[in-house]
Amino acid sequence: MSALQSLKQHFQKIDNFNHLSSICNWDAAAMMPSGGNEARSRAMADLSVHIHQLKTAPQLEEWFGKAAQQTLSVQETAELREMKRTWQMANVLPVSLIEAKSLAGSKCEHAWRSQRVNNDWQGFAKNWQEVVTLSQQEAQIRAEATGLSPYDAMLDIYEPGTNSHTLSQTFDSIKSWLPSLIDEVVEKQSHQSIIQSSGTFATAKQKALGLQVMELLQFDFSHGRLDESVHPFCGGVASDVRITTRYNEQEFMQSLMGIVHETGHARYEQGLPVHLAGTPSGEARSMGIHESQSLFFEMQLGRSQAFINHLSRLATQQFTDHAPALFAPDNLIKLYTQVKKDFIRVDADELTYPAHVILRFEIERDLINGNISYKDVPELWDNKMQSYLGLSTAGNYKNGCMQDIHWTDGSFGYFPSYTLGAMNAAQFMAAMKQTVNVDETIRSGDLTPIFNWLSEKIWSKGSLLSTDELVKQATGETLNPLHFQEHLRSRYL
Amino acid sequence: MSALQSLKQHFQKIDNFNHLSSICNWDAAAMMPSGGNEARSRAMADLSVHIHQLKTAPQLEEWFGKAAQQTLSVQETAELREMKRTWQMANVLPVSLIEAKSLAGSKCEHAWRSQRVNNDWQGFAKNWQEVVTLSQQEAQIRAEATGLSPYDAMLDIYEPGTNSHTLSQTFDSIKSWLPSLIDEVVEKQSHQSIIQSSGTFATAKQKALGLQVMELLQFDFSHGRLDESVHPFCGGVASDVRITTRYNEQEFMQSLMGIVHETGHARYEQGLPVHLAGTPSGEARSMGIHESQSLFFEMQLGRSQAFINHLSRLATQQFTDHAPALFAPDNLIKLYTQVKKDFIRVDADELTYPAHVILRFEIERDLINGNISYKDVPELWDNKMQSYLGLSTAGNYKNGCMQDIHWTDGSFGYFPSYTLGAMNAAQFMAAMKQTVNVDETIRSGDLTPIFNWLSEKIWSKGSLLSTDELVKQATGETLNPLHFQEHLRSRYL
């Protein structure tokens, strides 16, 4: 057996244990009763240790050395590159730092749940200081191993190949037009009349509607399911994708569009190359590309006039005890494109969302690079919120810098993926429209040409190409934020 | 750390991986879409290999040696005994035989699914011959390791401490009165009038009814769930027990009593000693004791007049679109105690079930001990069916010796557990009635005293005692089939 073959066999084994981890994580969120948590946590901890041992197995170094001497095809070269990346990621940090950060992160996150409610910045800062320090140490070690700057080394975990220099330029360009665009749109929308959602929407009907929309989006139910969890997510494995939603009987819109979003993630997973299943090159390219698919479904498809027409028809059929005016296409599209300057990222609309992300990017970049202190964060947050959205968070920590879970356990470098996803989604749509009559296709009810495009250009590529190369082959150019700007202006002005 | 401590820590790790295995097996039966099967099978195979490696880890031999020199408490002695049993079970067979049997068993079982439908004994026998040969080899190796006869060594997998000599005597005694009792009851019941179930029973209502009955049986929903699967079972782990049922909208009785049965298994698991969780001594004592709890719930509690009164009330409330006469206590109890001589074990009633088990026991005992050939099985089956139930299976293989899955993959030694369970359940009830007013307790709707008795005498003991000792401490004597006879006569005559 060649060294590459040995590696592939070993990574297949890692994939098999990751499979069990994914299914049991889904179970914990969607199925497990509360009393099952303690034993499950113990079992999952042992599984993590086992997976880490497999990723750091001593024989891997020799195999990687020998494989580098083999003559490899283009595909094999990519396979080797991605396995090596996984291996290096697992080996770069000393176990003592992993454990210390995990401990500090758990402690900080756990306390944060009540501290946030109590707006207790002082209490939070006491725990968070250590998380930041350990994350800076982590970034330093990763930087030395990769030759990147500390923050870029953290970015690299989620977005291989992306760097904060380019990202800063991109975000600066967005900042140059976004605040005024938001003002313009808010002013424009202040004159429109909307019928707001009222009454109750039975969970069973919302679920039936969600399943119909998943059918329209060609979710493959022989390779996946829809269930419920407190925090909606897309989990499971590529051959068995588990998406979840949360139903609120006071309104139907959030869960419905949430399902569209998760279905985007799911179809990417379901469309990954089967012949590469089980090795890292067969996995999704990056968090930003994953998010580009969910946002393509949610923002590009889901909020288009043609798609809203389908939602209108299906919702009217489902919620027969409501006045149909609420579901009229014109009203539904107004509801789904309302813009509001507000404090909370997770509730933000398509237009204000990038402002929330850019703010976080700028702060975490400077924090991890050691240019600011954790103590500076509340004031910087307030300044930037005033500047981007005209809102002050002075003294309002719970709706300011304490609102997200990401930083509590030291997940620095993740936030940019959201807006990278939004920008890529807009660029994919612009490129797709050159060969596919997208609106007509959606109207027809058979969206196959759209999914064929995504499958051919994105899903089937797995991680064979770099992100830049993937985007370039799909759209003719690397990431260009003008498509995103164009999309927003055309939808909201 | 003492050797015993090292062992306990190691077995906790085994338990953690068993936990993941149980949850993923439940998922495969209750949740997984068909397309998930291939990747799941691969993942589960790797998990099995890992668990086997843990059970056969080289350091265990030294630890068991050292632990044998330690001064141990009574509890520690039991803990060590059960860990050693698990270790020996895992080590006794050569890997080549495990693999060969697994391969032959999978092949035979897979082909059996269509061969049974086609009544194809010749085709089946061709595969089955090898399964029998390999099982005989397995039994021989187990016999040499344990000093038992070959068949007793197979029995020992499921029923440690039970031997076929005693079991033959017990079953002979049952055979001396069962066939005539069946005749008598069938004759008696031929004169009674019953309103048969008709109409449809919506799945949602059946489920609601099942959940109500689980509440009555004090199933702990913070440590378990009810779901659906093709073959109902009790899975999951002690802190998170997953029971399943199958709904048939043409009738409600089978699923309902199936839920009562699985709830019995579940409460045993939920009641296992928490302070021993994670080591074999904290697990259920044996298959027969497990079945004694499900049959205690299904047969002793579930078919009692007082319990049927509850079912009658709850079913009447639930199925308001049916004439209530069907659910009248008198009618319901007649339906739930109908006796019929028939071919199929899984559909058999309480009274004829032991005949099906004894027949299988006698055949598999003689087969594994090498006293008969696999070719003799159809004729023996026919003879015994005629003798015990007055039915001929000559040429009717699919409803004769080809009806069960157990033998297709070589699971010889399992069948007796069913009737051991039924006998133990009757004996437990007889003992319980000496201190608990069972009928009055059931009538009151608060069954706590019944469950306290089971918890104290059975559930909380885990595997600390041998089966004989467990039954003796609980009831004052070891297994005595007279209680079972007494129970059947009092219910059916």
Whether B19 and A39 lie within 8 Å, measured CB to CB: yes
- Chain A interface includes B41 (CB < 8 A): no
Q: Within 13 Å and on the Cβ side, how many CA atoms surround A394?
A: 4
Q: What is the pLDDT of residues B27-68, one digit of tens each?
A: 999 999 999 999 999 999 999 999 999 999 999 999 999 999
Whether B223 and A36 lie within 8 Å, measured CB to CB: yes
CB A319 within 8 A of CB A252: yes
CB A410 within 8 A of CB A276: no
Q: Which residue(s) pair with A240 in the sheet?
A: A237
Which DSSP helix (H) or strand (E) runs through A406? Answer: none
Tokens 């996150």 found at: A109
Nearest to B36 among A16, A27, A223 (CB): A223
CA distances from A117 to A108, A114, A406 (A): 14, 5, 16
- Chain A interface includes B39 (CB < 8 A): yes
Q: Which of A406, A420, A405, A355 is nearest to A381 (CA)?
A: A355
pTM score: 0.95
- Pairing verdict, β A234-237 and A240-245: antiparallel
**SS3 assignment, position B224:** strand
Q: Using CA coordinates, name the residue in chain B closest to A36.
A: B240
Per-residue model confidence (pLDDT) at position B86:
96
- Pairing verdict, β B240-245 and B234-237: antiparallel
Whether A23 and B24 lie within 8 Å, measured CB to CB: yes
Nearest to A222 among B34, B50, B239 (CB): B34
Tell me the C-alpha distance between B224 and B226, whole Å. Answer: 7
The CA-based dihedral angle spanning residues B298, B300, B305, B308, taken in that order and rounded to the nearest 10 degrees: -10
- Pairing verdict, β B234-237 and A240-245: unpaired
Tally DSSP H helices, then E strands, for chain B. Answer: 20, 3
Q: Which residues contact B183 (CB under 8 A, 6 or more apart)?
A: none
CB A217 within 8 A of CB A297: yes
- Chain B interface includes A202 (CB < 8 A): no
Tell me the C-alpha distance between A479 and A467, whole Å. Answer: 9
CA distances from A479 to A222, A260, B23 (A): 34, 24, 43
CA distance A37 to chain B (A): 8
Spell out the SS3 assignment of B334-391: HHHCCCCCCCCHHHCCCCCHHHHHHHHHHHHHHHHCCCCCHHHHHHHHHHHHHHHHCC
Q: Using CA coordinates, name the residue in chain A closest to B13.
A: A46
Per-residue model confidence (pLDDT) at position B433:
98
**SS3 assignment, position B251:** strand
Identify residue B446 by its one-letter amino acid code.
D
Task: Tell me A401's DSSP state.
Answer: T
Q: Using CA coordinates, name the residue in chain A closest to B31.
A: A225
Tell me the C-alpha distance between B110 and B131, whole Å. Answer: 13
Tokens 């000559």 found at: B394
CB A20 within 8 A of CB B47: yes
What is the biggest distance separating any 2 CA atoms in chain A, rounded to whole angstroms? 70
Tell me the C-alpha distance between B56 and B64, whole Å. Answer: 12
Tell me the C-alpha distance between B309 and A172, whole Å. Answer: 74
- Chain A interface includes B57 (CB < 8 A): no
Per-residue model confidence (pLDDT) at position B250:
96
CB A380 within 8 A of CB A363: yes
- Chain B interface includes A275 (CB < 8 A): no
Tell me the C-alpha distance between A130 and A107, whole Å. Answer: 10
Tally DSSP H helices, then E strands, for chain A. Answer: 20, 3
Whether B239 and A38 lie within 8 Å, measured CB to CB: yes
Tell me the C-alpha distance between A62 and B338, whole Å. Answer: 70
- Chain A interface includes B211 (CB < 8 A): no
Q: Which of B8, B207, B240 to mutate to test the interface with A (most CBs of A within 10 A)?
A: B240
Domain ranges of chain B: 1-91, 106-493
Q: Which of B17, B21, B24, B31 to mutate to test the interface with A (most CBs of A within 10 A)?
A: B31
Into which CATH architecture does domain B106-493 fall?
Orthogonal Bundle (1.10)
The burial class, CB within 10 Å (0-12 / 13-18 / 19+), for B64 is middle
Helix axis angle, B467-475 relative to B416-432, nearest 10°?
20
Q: Which residues contact A356 (CB under 8 A, 6 or more apart)?
A: A345, A348
Whether A36 and B240 lie within 8 Å, measured CB to CB: yes
Residues of chain A with pLDDT under 70: none
CA distance B203 to chain A (A): 14
Using a CB-CB cut-off of 8 Å, the residues of chain A touching B24 are 20, 23-24
Q: Which residues contact A244 (CB under 8 A, 6 or more apart)?
A: A26, A29, A30, A226, A227, A228, A229, A232, A233, A234, A235, A262
Per-residue model confidence (pLDDT) at position B308:
98
Q: Using CA coordinates, name the residue in chain A closest to B39.
A: A239
Nearest to A20 among B24, B38, B278 (CB): B24
Per-residue model confidence (pLDDT) at position A131:
97
Helix axis angle, A121-146 relative to A353-368, nearest 10°?
70
Q: Which residues contact B408 (CB under 8 A, 6 or more apart)?
A: B105, B108, B109, B112, B128, B131
CB B266 within 8 A of CB B277: no
- Chain B interface includes A50 (CB < 8 A): yes
Whether B40 and A240 lie within 8 Å, measured CB to CB: yes
Using a CB-CB cut-off of 8 Å, the residues of chain B touching A244 are none
Whether B36 and A240 lie within 8 Å, measured CB to CB: yes
Task: Work out the end-to-end distance of chain A between its first and last CA atoms, rounded to an integer number of angstroms.
Answer: 61
Identify residue A276 by its one-letter amino acid code.
L
Per-residue model confidence (pLDDT) at position B136:
98
DSSP secondary structure, A205-261, as one string: HHHHHHHHHHHHTT--GGGEEEEE-SS--EEEETTEEEEEE--BTTBSHHHHHHHHH
Tell me the C-alpha distance between A246 and A254, whole Å. Answer: 9
Give the count of Cβ contacts less than 8 A between chain A and B: 102
Using a CB-CB cut-off of 8 Å, the residues of chain B touching A19 are 39-40, 42-43
Tell me the C-alpha distance between B92 and A155, whole Å. Answer: 52
CB A273 within 8 A of CB A298: no
E strands present in A119-161? none
Encoding tokens for residue B119?
């009544």
Whether B39 and A239 lie within 8 Å, measured CB to CB: yes
- Chain A interface includes B50 (CB < 8 A): yes
E strands present in B375-461? none
Q: Which residue(s) pair with A244 in the sheet?
A: A227
Tell me the C-alpha distance between A84 and A81, whole Å. Answer: 5
CB A36 within 8 A of CB B240: yes
- Chain B interface includes A335 (CB < 8 A): no
CA distance B340 to chain A (A): 40
Residues of chain B with pLDDT under 50: none
CB B287 within 8 A of CB B417: yes
Per-residue model confidence (pLDDT) at position B26:
97
Per-residue model confidence (pLDDT) at position A439:
98
Tell me the C-alpha distance between A143 and A152, whole Å. Answer: 8
CB A79 within 8 A of CB A8: yes
Whether B240 and A13 lie within 8 Å, measured CB to CB: no
The burial class, CB within 10 Å (0-12 / 13-18 / 19+), for B369 is middle
- Chain A interface includes B84 (CB < 8 A): no
The CATH class of A114-493 is: mainly alpha
The burial class, CB within 10 Å (0-12 / 13-18 / 19+), for A119 is middle
Whether B23 and A19 lie within 8 Å, measured CB to CB: no
CA distance A41 to chain B (A): 9
Segment 233-272 of chain A within 8 Å of chain B by CB: 236-240
For residue A173, the tally of other CB atoms under 10 A from its CB is 14
Long-range Cβ pairs for the range B193-198 (8 Å, 24+): B194/B331, B194/B334, B194/B335, B194/B338, B195/B325, B195/B326, B195/B328, B195/B331, B196/B335, B197/B250, B197/B251, B197/B252, B197/B253, B197/B326, B197/B335, B198/B326
Q: Which of B264, B338, B306, B312 is nearest to B446 (CA)?
A: B306
Tell me the C-alpha distance between B436 and B425, whole Å. Answer: 15
The CA-based dihedral angle spanning residues A317, A319, A323, A327, taken in that order and rounded to the nearest 10 degrees: -70
